[in-house]
């Protein structure tokens, strides 16, 4: 990933908070006929110290076979807020349009889970997702057999992160007044993702010297 110094994420901790928040990822592996790519949720587990991404994929997906035999690193792409930036938002209208966006790439090797680990990770994922809803669902609401019989159709895996790259392209390489003007426009949006992007732009540009 091409990352100018001005676009780098300030701290490693911020990288992991980003991965934890924007957990819907794109998983990519090499294949004989081209890359395999699958969209799926990946949970960040730092309980053992080193960061691990935990996920599962359908056994019927050809990508599962590529994961099992992967000799090269697997890539997980996490995408955060993004917005097209029209040139009309710049005070002088003298800059070309662009995109502001945020992304984190994690690279590492995969270990396949056994059934016990798969079931435990599914419980954690379900509990985490359902906690967002009042009266959310619990796996105890259905017979254990209905869960167990599904496990043979799913392959769980853990990706040990060996390298991570973050890119927050938020106008840091543009005149400060332009970046802050974009942030103000986005902060007035009805879209929560654009308002979150505005907060990030303010954070990464407000303390810059005027330029």
Average pLDDT over residues 134-152: 84
Q: Are 51 and 78 in contact (CB under 8 A)?
A: no
Q: What does the alpha-carbon distance between residue 198 and residue 211 come to, in Å, rounded to a whole number?
A: 19
Domain ranges of the chain: 5-205
Average pLDDT over residues 100-115: 97
Answer yes or no: is pLDDT of 142 > 90. Answer: no
| Full-model pTM | 0.93
Distances in Å between the Cα of 198 and the Cα atoms of 17, 100, 131, 149 are: 18, 10, 27, 46
Complete edge-to-edge strand list for the sheet that includes strand 24-29:
36-41, 24-29, 74-85, 98-112, 154-169, 52-58, 43-45
pLDDT tens-digit series, residues 147-206 = 778 888 999 999 999 999 999 999 999 999 999 999 999 999 999 999 999 999 999 999
Exposed/middle/buried for residue 106 (C-beta within 10 Å: 0-12, 13-18, 19+) = buried
Residue with structure tokens 């934890």? 20
**What pLDDT score was predicted for residue 98?**
97
**Tokens in use for 11?**
């701290």
CATH number belonging to the domain at 5-205, selected among 3.40.50.720, 2.30.110.10, 3.20.20.140, 3.40.50.970: 2.30.110.10
Distance from C-alpha of 201 to C-alpha of 101, rounded to nearest angstrom: 10
Q: What does the chain come to in residues?
A: 211
Which pLDDT does position 211 carry in this prediction?
63
Distances from the Cα of 13 to the Cαs of 31, 48, 141, 161, 164, in angstroms? Answer: 32, 16, 37, 14, 12
Judged by DSSP in three states, 179 sits in helix
pLDDT digits (tens, 9 = 90+) for 36-90: 999 999 999 999 889 999 999 999 999 999 999 888 999 999 999 999 999 999 9
Average of per-residue pLDDT across 87-105: 95
* pLDDT at residue 189 in the model: 95
């Amino acid at each position: 990933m091409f990352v100018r110094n001005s676009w780098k994420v300030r701290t490693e901790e911020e990288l992991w908070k980003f991965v934890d928040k924007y957990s819907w990822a794109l998983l990519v592996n090499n294949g004989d006929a081209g890359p395999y790519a699958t969209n799926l949720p990946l949970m960040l587990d730092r309980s053992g110290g080193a960061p691990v991404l935990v996920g599962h994929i359908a056994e019927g997906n050809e990508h599962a076979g590529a994961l099992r035999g992967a000799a090269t690193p697997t890539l997980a792409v996490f995408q955060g807020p993004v917005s097209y930036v029209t040139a009309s938002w710049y005070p002088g209208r003298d800059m070309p349009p662009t995109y502001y966006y945020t992304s984190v790439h994690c690279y590492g090797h995969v270990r396949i889970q056994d059934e016990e680990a798969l079931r435990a990770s599914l419980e954690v994922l379900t509990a985490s997702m359902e906690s967002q809803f009042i009266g959310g669902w619990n796996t105890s609401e259905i017979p254990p057999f209905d869960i167990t019989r599904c496990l043979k159709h799913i392959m769980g895996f853990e990706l040990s992160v060996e390298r991570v790259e973050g890119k927050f392209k938020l106008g840091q390489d543009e005149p400060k007044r332009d970046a802050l003007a974009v942030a103000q426009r986005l902060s007035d949006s009805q879209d929560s993702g654009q308002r979150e992007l505005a907060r990030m732009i303010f954070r990464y540009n407000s303390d810059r010297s005027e330029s």
